[in-house]
Amino acid sequence: MTTKKKEQPAPRISVIGTGYLGATHAAAMAELGFDVIGVDTDQSKVDALRDGRVPFFEPGLPELITEHVASGRLNFTTDIAEATALADVHFICVGTPQQSGSFAANLSYVEAAARSIAQNMTHDGVIVGKSTVPVGTAARLRAIVAAELPDGVSAELVWNPEFLREGKAVEDTLSPDRLVFGGTSERSEAVLRRIYATPIETGTPVLVADLPTAELVKVSANAFLATKISFINAIAEVCDAAGADVSLLADALGHDVRIGRQFLNAGLGFGGGCLPKDIRALMHRSSELGAHAAVGLLQQVDEINMGRRQRVIDLALEACGGSVLNRRIGVLGAAFKPHTDDVRDSPALNVAAALHLRGAQVVVYDPEARATAQRMFPTLGYADSVEEAVNGADVTVVLTEWPEFVEADPAALAAIVHGKTVIDARNCLDATAWSRAGWAVHVMGRVPEGAPIADDLAALAGVR
């Protein structure tokens, strides 16, 4: 007679860090059916999350947290000893910001989290790193955990990188496009497969890797996306000089299945809390490892990206006759991209602040990022609507491609501005519709219809 194997109880989960990654991961794990406790050192943040108040904008997350706090599956605490005693699997979801005065990642939060988990463990468990870290970090954390574990308690540290897109973080956690398990044993892999059973059953592929590979996946993905953005922005400069249309060019490139159309939108460039600091951290770590080809490539990617901000500033200066002093500029957008209130390293807010420093009266409107922008740059003017931002403006600058801006009525706005000049720094407006409404439309990489081609290029073509 065959004895049926008794099914083990579902693992209980702790999530260390309840910022953007941690709060989303905790709520998603509860949605997948697990008992979850989130840990943070900030009591006010813990209190807010218990009330379903999320300290950042992420569609769908407040509702998910509220639902599962009410269901009893999700709780938050500042007591890491309580969390580790209750949980079997501990996810490290703390930040790895750029170090002050260096491109290197600040790993103090990750190291502190690993140390605290190990010190407070009361029974065997699995520690899972999700934070984005330089390659080699996990091996060092394993040593820290081994040194701090109480006698008689064992823990395995593995890596499971996150691949969240701001604005789609809940979807990306519940239905990821891939799962990477790094440094797992048969036992810890089985634990992770149980936790992610729902997405795995619906077709999400699982890649089992060594620790260094798992650590490199996220930063490599971000570096590739950043490279793609900087490539099309470099080509946009060629289009400006040659009289070509970078948007049509990108469409043509995108039909090549080897290239694809995503992340080929020329414009102001990338920002946010991930891509800039991740490519710089990879640059720093690559240099330490002697992989200098990657350093040179990523340095060019970073420089091209930062140069796009100056290009928009230059366009605004040109539109105002060489100086923005005492000119009113309506700025549409502060977040680094739409569907988020994140202004970390935001190209939009950087351009707005630079114009303000040159003497312009800058009025900013963003549907979600006003509060975060105002905390960072309180001296800028802020509006509650598109109309208020551009009313009486000499120049209007679109810096974030929110649907509200894309769908705005150019004729209605033309009636309230002082100067009908718009700089479309995201290549997101219908330039023909705006032109018909009387606007002079300036777009990077798309020379206005009828504009003369540079004399030297015309000569090379044999026109004269």
The residues near 315 (Cβ < 8 Å, ≥ 6 apart) are 423, 425, 442, 444
Q: What angle do CA 203, 207, 208 make, to 5 degrees?
A: 135
Nearest in space to 223 (alpha carbons), one of 94, 347, 337, 103: 103
Instruction: Give catalytic residue positions.
Output: 274
Going by the DSSP 8-state scheme, the letter that residue 104 receives in this structure is S
For 270-405, strand residue ranges (E) read 328-332, 361-365, 381-382, 395-398
Indicate the residue type of 220.
S
The CB-side HSE value for 144 (13 A sphere, CA atoms) comes to 19
CA 51, CA 408: separation in Å to the nearest integer? 36
Distance CA 143, CA 336 (A): 38
Q: List C-alpha distances in Å: 370 to 231, 242, 383, 388, 410.
A: 31, 38, 8, 14, 23
Neighbour order of strands in the sheet with 395-398: 381-382, 361-365, 328-332, 395-398, 421-424, 440-443
Q: Which residues contact 417 (CB under 8 A, 6 or more apart)?
A: 330, 390, 391, 392, 393, 394, 396
The set of residues, in sequence order, having a beta carbon less than 8 Å from that of 448 and lying 6+ positions away, is: 431, 435, 440, 441, 442
Measured from the Cβ of residue 340, the count of other Cβ atoms closer than 10 Å reads 26
**Are β-strands 361-365 and 421-424 bridged in parallel, bridged antiparallel, or unpaired?**
unpaired
The CA-atom distances, in angstroms, between 420 and each of 140, 262, 423, 440 are 58, 31, 10, 6
| CA torsion through residues 296, 300, 302, 306, sign | positive
Task: Report DSSP state, residue 303.
Answer: H
